[in-house]
Amino acid sequence: MFITSDEIGLTSVGFSNQRFSYDDDDMEYEEGDSDSIRDGKRWLDIYFSDKEPLFLPPLHLIGTAFQKEVWEILLSIPYGCVATYGDIAKKTAENHNIEKMSSRAVGGAVGHNPISIIVPCHRVIGSGNNITGYGGGLERKLKLLSIEGYDISKLKMPRRIPSFCSISIE
């Protein structure tokens, strides 16, 4: 895994082999430890000890206004629970006082979440309990949901699991 931060907060958390890896070769990084990175590591240590972290490390969500709005909604999905792309699209539409929002657009924003696990994109599933893609791989998504105590036997698996899945939207 990798964690990056700036003076504001965490800018990325992810798996080195995940789709949409944010460890961009064109970016200059300085190795070191910051308060944000220490908080992020502590959060992940608690999480991977099968406990719910009761704090949020400082985050610096970098993306479009729409992406950031979707990522904020992801942060509201409770530990051990899931939401569908449709649920998030409905909430986004309500926020903008419009009738409908595209689940496909929401899926694009969810799929570009740079702060995996802490901003819980793994808690998003398709309609009808269909398991959908995850940049870190479906096996990891299922493991993360299991860590949180979610009953993954409720989920409908795809017939074939590609090594890097793209998000399928309802």
Question: How far is residue 132's CA from residue 166's CA, in Å, rounded to a whole number?
Answer: 8
- Strands (E) in the chain, as ranges, are 2-5, 10-14, 83-84, 124-125
Active-site residue, from 61, 82, 106, 121: 121
CA distance 139 to 130: 14
Establish whether 121 is a catalytic residue: yes
Alpha carbon separation from 28 to 4, 25, 40, 115 (Å, rounded):
11, 8, 20, 18
CA distance 36 to 28: 18
Which two three-digit tokens encode residue 39? 């908080």
Catalogue the active-site residues: 121
